[in-house]
Structure 1
Amino acid sequence: MSEPREIELKLECEPSDLAVLQDHPLLREASEQDEAELASVYYDTPDRALRAAGFGLRVRRIGERYVQTLKAEGDGLFERPEWEQAIEGPEPDLGVLADTPLPDILGPDATLAPLFTTAVTRKTYLVRQGSSTVEVALDTGRIASPAAGDRIAPICEIELELKDGAASDLFALAHAVAALVPVRLGVQTKAERGYALTAGEPERIKAEAVPLREDANAADAFRAIAHACLRHMRLNEAVLLERREPGALHQMRVAIRRLRSAFSLFGDLVEDAQGERLRAELKRMTEPLGRARNLDVFLATTLPAERERHPDEIGLLGLERQLEEARTKAYAEVEALLASEAWRALVLDLIGWINAGPWLRDTRGDRPVRRDEPAIDFAERELDRRRRQVKKRGRRLDRLSPEERHRVRIAAKKLRYGAEFFASLYSGRKAGRRHAAFVKALSGLQDGLGALNDIATAHEVVRAEVVEEAGIAAGASTLFAAGMAAADVEVRERALLDEAAEAHAELVDAKPFWR
């Protein structure tokens, strides 16, 4: 059986938004319209073998018919392999999946059991967009599981599936929908939400491994990596939209840094005017997250250490109040950003450019050949280049200026992200051991350089939030405490420099896992 691929974009919204869309000519004048009640049961083994392998298996009842679907994670967001076939009854029929990856995952004696169900009312419309046909599905319903008790997960989403034509038309339609109602890019499948509900899992906010196929080319790799970064960002954005959560804010910034590093790692292969504009806009719009994060770190790390060193210094209380007020304002700016139409539009612009931007159609010079280059060849060359860069810039690290150390830190960060992005291309026990050792050495260097950067950031927080923002209104004791805190963190600099230099030497000695 071949590996058909579903090209689908998911948008999250509110029930009232669906009512607005249904009443708009965009859908009212669609060539075909339908409504169905979909009841699906999702299956897995007791040890969750399917989920561990990145697959989901469901049996869906549509009227009197039953349709079985096996879906893979694909590249993590936009394009997923799936195998769908009508079956005779409500139980899974593994016989029709003999030519899929399922037999290798389950083995001959595996037992499947139902885990959770979805009940969805789906209204579908066939819409012509440009030269393409797109199926628009409006889904409302819920996910339920016996293991979750009374807890349910509501479903309210719009799915755009390309039936024929160009992916660029799919994204053009997404923007047309976004102009009518506020939507956000959806990055979780119903299956993922069902597993989370069943297990009572907290929000996952850390970056996940990037699944790259062995036969992926350079363009495939970039899209998969960029998708993973957007997914990481959106999962944490969802947490921040509900509450002020420092961990989610930090991880959202990490996701954005990873995405910007992906742009840099792939360099001129993905350069075009639209991409340059989006990169600049992403950097500009997300500046409020940096201010909030710096205040989080100062209040959670620097200030407690100062209290421990100077328990009788009353000025630290005034400093804390001043910075708490500043943090409240900073988080208000973050909330305003995430609630804005401009931010939602930027995310849609990014996913559209990643999958249908000019960089994919550029035929100048050797760009078509480079896009088709095996991803593993591209990765080896780029990781070599980034390693040489870190090695050269970090020589005599303990004698470098703060600006020079900052350049080493940025280079090390890009090498670390590259090592994480391309890890799945290097399978095998030997490569796995080398990868773990290399990343450990790289993490040590990053930790040391990061601590040194925190010192510079602490100075900046004191200057910007106390000296310049509050000035004399902060009070003499608060200003004194601020100066004392800045001086105390600077004392640690010498020891941190020695640690960072030692970590750099260990990294130089670590064997590259990609060779």
Structure 2
Amino acid sequence: MQPLSEPEVSPARDEAREESQDAPAPTSIKAKPIELSHDDALEGAAAAIFSGALEHFLANVPLLQSLSAPESVHQMRVALRRLRAAIGLLRPAVAGPALETAANRAKALAATLGAARDWDVFGLALSGGPREAIGDDPSFHALTDALEALREKAYRAAHEAVSSDETARFVDDLRLAIARRDWEAAPESHAPGSARAFAADALTGLRKRLLKKSKGLATLSADERHRVRIALKKARYGAEFFESLFDGRKDARAYLHALGEMQDQLGLFNDMEVANGLLDQIDSLTPEAARASSFIRGWFAHAARQGVAHAETSEKRLKKLAPFWT
């Protein structure tokens, strides 16, 4: 089993060595575009999509040991979400135990990385308005000290998870499954052009589900908004997977940009919900932080109310967003 610290795990590491030593180190490595052709068979396209997600994850592993750890954690989580989204989206045509095992492993690893990411996002949220508003208050210092201790604990868990034998098995097994195409593929998925036909149907279905879930967005509960956010991610990832199969890249870019902006806006709501849970943890460990904690909860609640207008605009924008695959 190949350890994750070996250079060959990440092609990005070798590429970095070829650059000038004076060049700034990357803070993170984003997913590379997936280039497919109109006449590609679906099974081959699926292999390319799975491989792209895995290599995106691996390219960010070395950065976890650097000052760029927060962004590398974010990109590793994105890569794992993209992999799970791809496995789910392609399941009607390409499926099997090896892919389901990969999806389950990716979910578990993403949860551990997510805990570290949550503390990073929360810390950034505090560094702006709340810090300026509360000033040099002892309870705020107690809160930030507790935050940093809990963040360090979460990062230790992230390091252990990424360097574990379980993650090495996840990588090795998925690579082997892709190389061997260890799955059951529908007969039509071998036909030239089947990737484009599948993509058009799949993207239409993702868009319909998103429109249905986002109806009345401004009045939805936190759980309902979270489900809209998940639907947005799936629609966005699906469009990224398949955009090269269709003409009109400008339309595809506009579609993806709009979904990304809406996803970010809903992400702010979600971050506020997560923050309340993180404050619960701090309150239980550090009673001295109670005053600052109450103030920050109120700050986030006020910000959430201001986001209602954005939600109404997002729903209208979604309805007007034209598919690029028709």
Q: TM-score, normalised by structure 2?
A: 0.91
Q: Which amino acid aligns with 2:236?
A: R
Structure 1 alignment gaps of length 5 or more: 1-174
Given candidates 467, 470, 484, the residue that maps to 2:283 is 467
The CA distance in 2 between the partners of 1:193 and 1:282, in whole Å, is 26
Q: Which amino acid aligns with 1:411?
A: A
The question of whether the paired residues in 2 share the 8 Å contact of 1:230 and 1:255 is answered with: yes
Given candidates 415, 420, 443, the residue that maps to 2:235 is 415
Matched, 1:506 2:317: yes
Matched, 1:436 2:247: no
Structure 2 alignment gaps of length 5 or more: none
The question of whether the paired residues in 2 share the 8 Å contact of 1:227 and 1:351 is answered with: yes
Between 1:238-247 and 1:413-422, the stretch displaced more is: 238-247
Local SS of the residue matching 1:377: helix
The CA distance in 1 between the partners of 2:128 and 2:144, in whole Å, is 10
The CA distance in 1 between the partners of 2:59 and 2:238, in whole Å, is 21
After superposition, what is the alpha-carbon deviation per residue over 1:89-147, rounded to whole angstroms, capped at 9, x for unaligned? xxxxxxxxxxxxxxxxxxxxxxxxxxxxxxxxxxxxxxxxxxxxxxxxxxxxxxxxxxx
Residue 278 of structure 1: aligned partner:
102
The CA distance in 2 between the partners of 1:302 and 1:371, in whole Å, is 52
The question of whether the paired residues in 2 share the 8 Å contact of 1:416 and 1:442 is answered with: yes
Matched, 1:257 2:81: yes
Residue 456 of structure 1: aligned partner:
273
Q: TM-score, normalised by structure 1?
A: 0.59
Residue 144 of structure 2: aligned partner:
320
After superposition, what is the alpha-carbon deviation per residue over 1:248-304, rounded to whole angstroms, capped at 9, x for unaligned? 111111111111111122123232223222211221133221111000011122343
Q: Which amino acid aligns with 2:305?
A: R
Q: Which amino acid aligns with 1:438?
A: Y
Alignment of 1:33-432 (within 5 A): 175=1, 178=2, 183=6, 186-188=9-11, 192-193=15-16, 195-197=18-20, 200=23, 202-203=25-26, 205-243=29-67, 245-359=69-183, 362=184, 367-372=186-191, 374-427=194-247, 431-432=248-249
The question of whether the paired residues in 1 share the 8 Å contact of 2:251 and 2:324 is answered with: yes
Given candidates 467, 472, 487, the residue that maps to 2:298 is 487
Task: Tell me: CA distance 1:443–1:371, structure 2 relative to 1, closer, same or farther (3 Å).
Answer: same
The structure showing larger relative contact order (alpha-carbon pairs under 8 Å, at least 6 residues apart) is 2
The question of whether the paired residues in 2 share the 8 Å contact of 1:261 and 1:417 is answered with: yes
Which protein is richer in helix relative to its size?
2
Residue 91 of structure 1: aligned partner:
none
Task: Tell me: CA distance 1:191–1:248, structure 2 relative to 1, closer, same or farther (3 Å).
Answer: closer
* RMSD of Structure 2 on Structure 1 (CA): 2.4
Which protein is richer in strand relative to its size?
1
Q: Between Structure 1 and Structure 2, whose CA radius of gyration is higher? A: 1
The question of whether the paired residues in 1 share the 8 Å contact of 2:216 and 2:315 is answered with: no
The question of whether the paired residues in 2 share the 8 Å contact of 1:442 and 1:503 is answered with: no
Task: Tell me: CA distance 1:186–1:222, structure 2 relative to 1, closer, same or farther (3 Å).
Answer: same
C-alpha displacement of 1:404: 1.2
The CA distance in 2 between the partners of 1:419 and 1:379, in whole Å, is 9
The CA distance in 2 between the partners of 1:284 and 1:213, in whole Å, is 33
C-alpha displacement of 1:348: 0.8
C-alpha displacement of 1:462: 0.9
